[in-house]
Chain A
């Protein structure tokens, strides 16, 4: 095997090792693999079903190909998102020095890295785009030609993701010496991108619901040129459209690899302060812990983006309701009646659950845990600082959105109080629950924050379990108790349950939780 092959094989083995050797207990490898396979199969099923639904809806209008355009849009968006996420992780991997010291050319290393990156970025395309392509080919009986052209696009899209991530790596490398915290720029960029994506999806979907002429939908998708180029290439096989699509995928890849090669292995020049004075103000130990937690939260793009997006969604919902109250929601809101506050509460609870700030906070101490352990501070103060950070992130946005929605919708006191109080109590509950979950599922040994905030058991459980309390209260109500128990009673039960559960878990933290933390 040549050296390129050896390097690529090594990267694949490393990925396998991530699954196999990171688990401490035997038997988990199969479990992790099974989970990945099941999740992948589920996503393929969802994407395929969704495409089938779209095809059958648009087929009578002769617009079935909109399903292809939609899937292509989704694949491109996922690809851009991955590029931003990977771009923010820095240009120099831990193995750069090792690889450059080996008798392998620099070009071989760069090609191997790019190939392995490409392979890892290929599978999301298989999940997000291929099912729609296959379903379209089968339902529309459009022949092998369309399928092959679609597969060619599947192979081209990851090039965009890899190329853009390299370009971002290069930009952050160059900006590193001029910006104090390039991570904040990444965070802001990612947030802007995600909001734009949500606005984009919302615009397209709301347009589809109200447009008299469905052909305008096609126009709307096609207003984004790469979607038009890709879809038209699949449908017609036009070489011009293929070349145009290649310009937005292959070209960024070539430029990205070239730029990445220019900085690979070069030592990172970080920002240096010109300030000579030091702020010596003193704080109490608790304030110091809280300041550290908050600066940690807002200073880490991986942490902030993955656990803060729920609040952005809540803000977007609020803006949508404010804008749509007198237009596209004008007929729906009166129809929903008493359900409006419940929908707001449930959506707010969902958004809060996706902000699992505290569920990662202990794991994120990682190798720095010793600093807290040797510090003369009470463990409960450490917990309290982490809980307060969770509340700082979730509570103000939740309160503002709740109050604004109450005022905009003119809800009476009986509905206004639960809309404000229940989500606020939920912030507290999810915060305490996150700490409990993290203590029970710590992941202290990690080599990248994203491993904790995206892939750890505590993060996944933090989000899923965060949705449970609202489900426990409201699902039985809708299934069994509707009409038997009044809304006021169910709101009071929910409030009491949220607060009591938070209190019980806090008491557990102060007793057993402290012991577990000290043994970490």
Chain B
């Protein structure tokens, strides 16, 4: 589903934010991407979704190169950034309709999906309110609904659990599992290692822009906890 090969990105000539990173996310995978602050997680995620131009390496989604077929790739993607930066002057419903229009989702499908996810995340009643009246968590819920609205093949998420209440976090984890069981794939960054350990089947650890471990959860952590392995890897590498 997602294949990153020898991807490198530098913001200046002296330092590489990400250096020769390669990994693969397959259909059905819930893939956690973990690392310290400033390790290169967000840079990688932004390059995957086509926000950040890059010169070295290739990123393919569904065998389509993001640089060669950006529109085709973006149609298959959904992205949730680390901060819910949305159009404050719109209502929640207007924002969701805007995203649905951009992804060419017909009226019947959008109604069904918005109603389903909004009820599940308990935000249905607030959808006609302006986004500037939303709390951080409500904005995050809106982003989650907008990510599901066009039934993508790959979801790329940067710290998606931040701001969610326990019930919404539980519902969201259920949705993630359901999405991957139906053939989708999820690639997300998180600092909550317990969540990653329980939810994900694959994990990659990045440090200083370089991938230091990648594989199935069992391969990477063995008999230890993910937290222990992460600390050991990032301290000794």
Q: Which residues of A contact B (CB under 8 A)?
A: 180-181, 183, 270-273, 275-276, 278-285, 287-289, 291-292, 295-296, 299-300, 367-368, 370-371, 373-378, 518-519
Contact = CB atoms under 8 A, between A and B. Distances in A.
A371 B101 contact: no
A375 B74 contact: yes
B51 A282 contact: no
Contact of B129 (A270, A287, A378): A270
A282 B107 contact: yes
Interface centre among A375, A518, A519 (most CB of B within 10 A): A375
B114 interface: yes
Contacts of A289: 102
B81 A370 contact: yes
Contact of B93 (A279, A282, A283, A376): A279
A182 to B, nearest CB: 11
Q: Assign chain B's interface to a size class.
A: 35 or more
Interface stretch (B83-91, B180-188, B213-221): B83-91
B132 A270 contact: yes
A278 B93 contact: yes
Nearest to B108: A280
B97 A280 contact: yes
B110 A283 contact: no
B107 A376 contact: no
Nearest to B51: A373
B174 interface: no
B128 A285 contact: no
Nearest to A177: B133
Contacts of B106: 282
B10 to A, nearest CB: 14
A271 B102 contact: no
B111 interface: yes
Contact of B75 (A180, A271, A284, A376): A376
Of B81, B87, B105, B111, most buried by chain A (CB within 10 Å of CB) is: B87
Contacts of A377: 71, 102
Contacts of A270: 129-130, 132-133
A180 B129 CA distance: 9
A284 B53 CA distance: 27
Given A272-B129, A288-B101, A375-B102, A295 B90 contact: yes
B186 to A, nearest CB: 16
B24 to A, nearest CB: 21
A285 B101 contact: yes
A373 B70 CA distance: 10
Interface in B29-51: 49-51
Given A271-B129, A282-B105, A292 B53 contact: no
B53 A519 contact: yes
A299 to B, nearest CB: 4
A203 B177 CA distance: 71
A518 B85 CA distance: 19
A284 B50 contact: no
A281 B85 contact: no
Q: Which of A272, A273, A287, A300 has the most CB of B within 10 A?
A: A273
B79 interface: yes
A278 B112 CA distance: 12
B98 A291 contact: yes
Contacts of B50: 373-374
